[in-house]
A and B are shown apart, each in its own frame.
Chain A
Amino acid sequence: MSLINQIVDWFKGGSPGANGAQPADAREAELLAQAEMARRMAIQPGVAGEIDPFSQTMIINMGPQHPSTHGVLRLMVELDGERVRNVVADVGYLHTGIEKTMESKPYIKAIPCTDRMSYLGPLHNNLGYVLAVEKLMDVDVPPRAQWARVILCELDRIASHLVFLASNGLDLGAMSVFLYAFREREKIIDIMEMCSGARMMASYFRPGGLAYPLPDGFEDAVQKIVDVMPGALDEYHALLTNNPIWLERTRGIGAISAEDAIRWAATGPVLRATGVKWDLRKDAPYAAYDQVDFDVAVGSQGDCYDRYLVRMEEMRQSVRIIQQGLKKLPPGPHITDNRKVAPPPKEELAVSMESLIHHFKIWTEGIKPPPGEVYAAVEAPRGELGFYVVSDGTARGRRIHMRSPSFVHLQMMPVFGQGALVADLVAIIASLDPVLGEVDR
């Protein structure tokens, strides 16, 4: 029996092999397996119903290697002509088992794993995890570290939104925005390199503070960015905001209501673009965000254009926050002096026996939070990034789980995409700004 016959049989009713026929030999068994595979490929049931293989519509794959899918995202699109009947995201191509890896490492050594999730906003990943561990251990973070976190996270947000702007422009055919956005991003990445030695995978935060003191010349370098950023933002606005092609491609595309956004647990710019004023930096402040003054950018239509505007405004507000941070950045230690959480400074090791013991204990056994569980969330560039850390009193996390915003947003693809045109799907994906490393973890 050929593979086609197998599939046709299955379409007529019943599953392959269900009518009592045992596979006669290995070849047949293989055919059955292939037919089963074909069935799974054809019917990947989505959140908004199944894709029906009998209908007169066409089912095509977008991705996993499509340049507009921002990585390895695969969309199963059911088309009626040029119109999208249904669209279902298929994720998992970038699954690297980050949660399992983190659960096998001591708490501090798990920090570099978090960078690799959302590689466009690595410091937010660091911060979310570090906040969870700090909450478990109930440590106080010195104010200099708190403010440094605020400044660096806002720089991180600008860098991430610049990549959003660049790739969104590129996806919709606006090549020059890409070059402009990466010009500014490069300067921010240079600051990350100044602080941590790494341009993207910074791993700069530690439970209790920062990994190293802020480098000399940090404030001047940040000040330079703060000075050029408002002008650069005006340039982006001039390129896109009133551009008729841009408006045509984004306005009214992929619009959702605030009720839908909340039902599907959208967060970040996707939620704010629908008009819901919700920002963790205001509503559940962490680090030093309770002492900064900024406005939450909100939209009204919930479409691609509003998501773009919200992000643009967020960059402006980030510049405001960084300016305040630079003014308020106090002198002092960069990490807590709680020796159960943070290792002692190097120079103490030569003169203090106790410090040597602490150093040895932290780097051999690791830090040991008391048994308990916490959920700590940060407002990452893409939305609420939550870390759920369960400790059983040992040096390794019993359970470390990430709630990643991109995962939740991709689940909403049917809500965004139904009724859109194929070309609009590109605009929708770009406006969600998913990072597949964070989706698949």
Chain B
Amino acid sequence: MAEENPVVTSVRQRFPDAVLGADEFRGQTTILLRKEDLIQVCQFLRDDPDLKFDTLLDVTVVDWLPEEPRFEVVYHLRSLPRQGFLRLKVLADGNDPRVPTVSPVWPTANWHERETFDMFGIIFEGHPNLARILMPDDWQGHPLRKDHPLGYEEVAFTHNAEEIFSRKPRPRE
């Protein structure tokens, strides 16, 4: 049971309102947090001598398209001294996805959050430089969203090759 996990218990004790849910799947613990308390909980997780989640491995998003709230922002934490692993989640609304940035807590979040913004359009409030990182600056849309088309390459034959090549993008003159 996830409720018996010591990490979940200590977060619950410290922030009784912040934890919306906890789950354990294949030995990995997930805590669903309220968006407003994210920063305080992260600071607590990093600084508490019994928890010491000193490394933020990753920030990413899962897009559950027809459902609402649509986005789950996922944080993977690791504790080097305790060899612990923890997953945090906050929910973000599909129309105006906003989440506070954790880059003051772990500076490594900077690029991960930029990537998440680039790919999903999540706005990380307070981020020092929320610009596109992987896609070109003038790209329209956020490619990893489930409603962004995948795109494909048409197969060219002699009878339609010219038409296909004429539609391909080429560098601006």
Contact = CB atoms under 8 A, between A and B. Distances in A.
Interface of A: 37, 40, 45-47, 91-92, 95, 97, 99-101, 103-104, 135-136, 138, 262-265, 276, 278, 283-284, 372-375, 377, 384, 386, 388, 390, 398-399, 401, 403, 407-408, 411, 440-441
A179 to B, nearest CB: 35
B85 to A, nearest CB: 7
Nearest to A398: B62
Interface in B99-122: 106-108, 110-111, 115, 119
Nearest to A47: B110
Contacts of B64: 398
Given A265-B106, A401-B60, A411-B111, A135 B26 contact: yes
Contacts of A264: 107-108
Nearest to B76: A375
A99 B119 CA distance: 10
Contacts of B25: 372-374
B107 A263 contact: yes
B143 A263 contact: no
A388 B106 CA distance: 20
Interface of B: 25-26, 28, 30, 54-58, 60-64, 74, 76, 80, 83, 85, 87, 106-108, 110-111, 115, 119, 128-129, 131-137, 143-144, 148, 150
7 contacts: A45-B128, A92-B132, A375-B28, A375-B76, A398-B62, A408-B108, A411-B110
A278 B80 contact: yes
Given A388-B58, A390-B62, A374 B108 contact: no
Contacts of B150: 100-101, 104
A388 B74 contact: yes
A235 to B, nearest CB: 35
B58 A136 contact: no
A262 B62 contact: no
Given A372-B25, A375-B76, A265 B55 contact: yes
B76 A262 contact: no
Contacts of A411: 108, 110-111
Contacts of A384: 57
B80 A276 contact: yes
B137 A40 contact: yes
Contacts of B131: 45
Contact of B87 (A375, A401, A440): A375
A272 to B, nearest CB: 12
Contacts of B57: 265, 375, 377, 384, 386, 403
A363 B62 CA distance: 27
A263 B106 contact: yes
Given A37-B137, A100-B143, A374-B26, 8 more contacts: A45-B131, A47-B110, A264-B107, A375-B85, A375-B87, A407-B111, A411-B110, A441-B134
Given A92-B133, A95-B134, A97-B143, A373 B30 contact: yes
4 nearest CB pairs, A to B: A265-B108, A403-B58, A92-B134, A45-B129
A229 to B, nearest CB: 30
Contacts of A403: 57-58, 76
A264 B25 CA distance: 28
Contact of B26 (A95, A99, A138, A440): A138
Contacts of B85: 284, 375
Contact of A262 (B55, B110, B134, B148): B55
